[in-house]
Copies of this chain bind each other. A is one copy, B any other.
Amino acid sequence: MARTRRSYNQYCGLASALDIIGERWTLLIVRELLLGPARYRDLLDSLPGIGTNLLAERLKFLAEQGVIRRAAGENERGYELTEHGERLREPVLQIAHWGLEHLGAPDEGQEVRPHWGFLAVQSMLDPSRAGDADECYEFRVDGTDFHIRVEGGRATAHEGRCEAPAMLAVTDARTFVEIGSGNLNPFMAVVSGRLSLDGDEECVQRAMALLGLIEGAEAPRKRSQEAVEAV
């Protein structure tokens, strides 16, 4: 007897979306796949506490709903987002950005993964702050490398290193996310030796501004795009 899945039974876009991605762990699975294809074991490792059965069931359901698919690549087996799932990137990044403010100092027993730093950077990136510069900033977080490329007034995040970065930041995942959360000032982190910053001073300033880490210092970050207003 096919168990009938729990639903809000509301004819509303949000309720419909939450029927799909509103269950426990689901958006965290999407988060992992936003950072690239992943195998079953990778997902288990990045989601400590999830039951193996739950992960399997979530994956199957998300595939049925067209949010993810089994990666077709030869030696790149595993799961990946479909285009439909990929369209969750923007809202999920914005929610991640919102949630950064709720992070306090890292607690014992709290898991951290270097690639979450990559996610944090993507959520902090404010494209409207990209100036006329044409340069890139590289980050090395616990062995996971990524960079931001500013080009033609657009700022984009990419995996891996880049050539001739205008700024190079080296740190551990915990420190990186703690800076993003606003609980740790990046320059304090340098002073305490937890972060290494190389590059021209102005470039460093631009990189920090691009991530909303300076200029407005402790003020709550706010995305520039206020698309819709309701009164």
A contact set with B: CB distance below 8 Å: 8-22, 24, 27-28, 31, 34-35, 48-49, 65, 84, 87-103, 106-107, 109-113, 116, 118-120, 122-123, 125-127, 155-159, 173-174, 177-178, 180-181, 220, 222-223, 225-231
Contact = CB atoms under 8 A, between A and B. Distances in A.
28 contacts: A9-B111, A11-B110, A11-B111, A12-B116, A12-B119, A12-B177, A13-B98, A13-B100, A13-B103, A13-B120, A14-B31, A14-B95, A14-B119, A17-B98, A17-B102, A18-B28, A18-B99, A21-B95, A35-B230, A91-B92, A91-B94, A93-B227, A126-B227, A127-B228, A157-B230, A159-B230, A223-B227, A225-B225
A95 to B, nearest CB: 5
Assembly stoichiometry (copies): 2
A228 B125 CA distance: 7
Nearest to A20: B102
Nearest to A120: B13
Contact of A225 (B24, B90, B178): B90
**Nearest 7 CB-CB pairs, A to B?**
A17-B99, A13-B100, A91-B94, A14-B96, A13-B96, A16-B99, A13-B99
